[in-house]
């Protein structure tokens, strides 16, 4: 069975194997993402079974007791703080109107009522104040780990290896750039959904023209400006002090590790590489798949790469000395311990070891070498020859890219899009075209 089929089968069974995901040893949580569920409409969740569910209220908490599903517990301050009535939450700007000083420590309910659709609470405020919390919000906001996993912690991303070459994700240019705006947005959403799921996507049939390529990229998201400019078109002339502007081979890496916030999407379109030029194949490696392999085979090394932060720098371009004020580990996790980012660029790695012990220095080298051996394995490498007319979009927080050495003159164009920008674009389009009914539900926001 391929890694992709095995991964998807695990989720169909609602169980994740150790090979697909490994716990962050410091947090004991599954390494997975919740990007997709952030856009889910909470009101679409299952209603409460009011015949069996009971409410228990004490001095600090409300507990909804469900015999078949476990208890849901909430602090009074938490619920009052999250009230989304028009007095507490602006319906248009989607911002809080209540300060923390207006959430008293002794706030408590004077009346509660549970219905199939949610919980009604009247509060002990000087003037009458009633809140309603939908069932979907309450299920999703539950504190308990097992309930969080039951509700919305499952991921829909597919880890892959070299077998992805048999059926790589792609979308046709005509599906993204039609005249009709709604169809265009649906095409962009299809691209971003595939980037979310696989970490990359090809767009075929793109006009072999820099201006048309720039227009296409702007339809996907706002171009991020860096010291390379915004939209770029270059040949191997070392016009910037970076090996990408040479003809030599590049190992698998992620871009812009020397930024506090590395680029979210890396986009390439080969415009020309005429004969007798040869070589220049593109290499793609799923960093999340490699991380899952490391976690399963060597959890100690996984822990080291998740804990020890390393500096990165860009110092080869005149007038540019980039070095983030904060260093980051190779493997970054979200607040629940799930893998969120792979930052790997050995060429741009700075001087490591600041504040480490002698033992940690040796541990990091051993862990990094172990990870490097995994991403250089033939089993994880997907090599593809880019041709004019095919654009490649890469999730730079997940998928590493590289290339083989090439000869001759070739022209490549492309751009970066910020991580927050492309996730926002996907969220908006999902809400507009994927949300059931497209209702303006204030409980969708802020997750």
Residue 227 counted as domain residue: yes
> pLDDT confidence of 316, banded at 50, 70, 90?
confident
CA dihedral 335, 337, 341, 346 (to 10 degrees): 120
Residue 23 counted as domain residue: no
Identify whether residues 270 and 311 lie together within a single domain: yes
Identify whether residues 279 and 314 lie together within a single domain: yes
Helix-helix angle 299-307:358-375, to 10 degrees: 110
What CATH number has the domain bearing residue 264? 3.60.130.10
Q: What local confidence, expressed as pLDDT, does residue 335 receive?
A: 82
Domain end position, chosen among 128, 154, 180: 154
Q: What stretches of 16-144 adopt beta strand conformation (E)?
A: 54-57, 61-65, 72-75, 109-115, 118-123, 130-134
Identify whether residues 91 and 202 lie together within a single domain: no
Q: What are phi and psi of 140, to 5 degrees?
A: -75, -30
Q: What local confidence, expressed as pLDDT, does residue 245 receive?
A: 61
Identify whether residues 76 and 139 lie together within a single domain: yes
Report yes or no: 307 and 329 within 8 Å, Cβ to Cβ.
Answer: yes
Taking residues 319-342, what's their average pLDDT?
A: 92
When divided into structural domains, the chain yields a total of 2
Give the helix/strand (H/E) hosting 420: helix 419-429
Q: What residues contact residue 320 under an 8 Å CB cut-off, 6+ apart?
A: 227, 241, 314
Identify whether residues 139 and 184 lie together within a single domain: no
Taking residues 294-313, what's their average pLDDT?
A: 98
What CATH number has the domain bearing residue 56? 3.30.2020.30
Mean pLDDT of the chain: 85
CA distance 252 to 221: 25
Question: Percent of the chain, pLDDT > 70?
Answer: 83
The encoded tokens of residue 178 equal 């039609």
Q: What domain range is 227 assigned to?
A: 162-432
Domain end position, chosen among 124, 154, 184: 154
The encoded tokens of residue 136 equal 């979907």
Q: What local confidence, expressed as pLDDT, does residue 386 receive?
A: 95
Identify whether residues 312 and 197 lie together within a single domain: yes
Taking residues 35-62, what's their average pLDDT?
A: 65
Identify whether residues 52 and 141 lie together within a single domain: yes
Taking residues 395-402, what's their average pLDDT?
A: 98
Domain end position, chosen among 111, 128, 154: 154
Give the helix/strand (H/E) hosting 139: helix 135-140
265: alpha, beta or left? (left if phi > 0; alpha if psi -120 to 50): beta
Identify whether residues 287 and 320 lie together within a single domain: yes
Identify whether residues 104 and 52 lie together within a single domain: yes
Identify whether residues 71 and 97 lie together within a single domain: yes
């Amino acid at each position: 069975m391929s890694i992709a089929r095995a991964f998807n089968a695990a989720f169909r069974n609602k169980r994740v194997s150790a090979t697909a995901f490994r716990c962050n040893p410091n947090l004991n949580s599954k390494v997975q993402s919740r990007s997709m569920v952030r856009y889910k409409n909470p009101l679409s969740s299952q209603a409460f079974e009011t015949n069996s569910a009971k409410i228990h209220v004490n001095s600090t908490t409300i507990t909804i007791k469900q015999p078949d599903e476990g208890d849901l517990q909430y602090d009074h301050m938490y619920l009052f703080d999250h009230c989304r009535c028009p007095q507490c939450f602006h319906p248009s700007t989607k911002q809080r109107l209540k300060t923390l000083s207006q959430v008293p420590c002794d706030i408590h309910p004077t009346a509660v009522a549970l219905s199939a659709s949610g919980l009604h609470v009247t509060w002990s405020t000087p003037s009458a104040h009633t809140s309603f919390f939908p069932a979907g919000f309450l299920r999703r906001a539950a504190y308990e780990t097992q309930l969080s996993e039951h509700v919305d912690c499952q991921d829909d991303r597919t880890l892959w290896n070299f077998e992805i070459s048999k059926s790589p994700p792609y979308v046709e240019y005509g599906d993204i750039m039609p005249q009709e705006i709604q169809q265009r947005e649906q095409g962009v959403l299809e691209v971003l959904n595939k980037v979310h799921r696989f970490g990359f996507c090809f767009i075929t049939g793109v006009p072999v023209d820099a201006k048309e390529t720039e227009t296409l990229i702007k339809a996907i998201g706002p171009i991020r400006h860096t010291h390379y400019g915004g939209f770029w078109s270059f040949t191997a002339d070392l016009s910037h002090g970076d090996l990408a502007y040479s003809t030599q081979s590049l190992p698998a890496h992620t871009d812009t590790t020397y930024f506090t916030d590395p680029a979210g999407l890396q986009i390439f379109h080969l415009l020309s590489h005429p004969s007798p030029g040869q070589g220049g194949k593109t290499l793609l490696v799923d960093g999340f798949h490699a991380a899952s392999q490391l976690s399963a085979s060597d959890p100690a090394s996984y822990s080291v790469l998740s804990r020890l932060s390393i500096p990165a720098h860009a110092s080869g371009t005149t007038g540019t000395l980039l070095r983030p004020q904060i260093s980051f580990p190779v493997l970054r996790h979200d607040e629940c311990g799930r893998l969120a980012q792979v930052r790997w660029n050995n060429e741009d790695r700075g001087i490591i070891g600041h504040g480490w012990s002698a033992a940690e220095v040796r541990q990091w080298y051993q862990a990094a070498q172990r990870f490097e051996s995994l991403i250089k394995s033939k089993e994880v490498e997907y090599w593809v020859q880019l041709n004019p007319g095919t654009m490649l979009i890469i999730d730079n927080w997940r998928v590493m890219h590289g290339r083989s050495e090439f000869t001759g003159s070739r022209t490549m164009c492309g751009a970066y899009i910020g991580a927050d920008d492309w996730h926002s674009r996907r969220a908006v389009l999902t809400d507009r075209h994927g949300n059931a009914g497209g209702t303006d539900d204030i409980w969708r926001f802020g997750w």
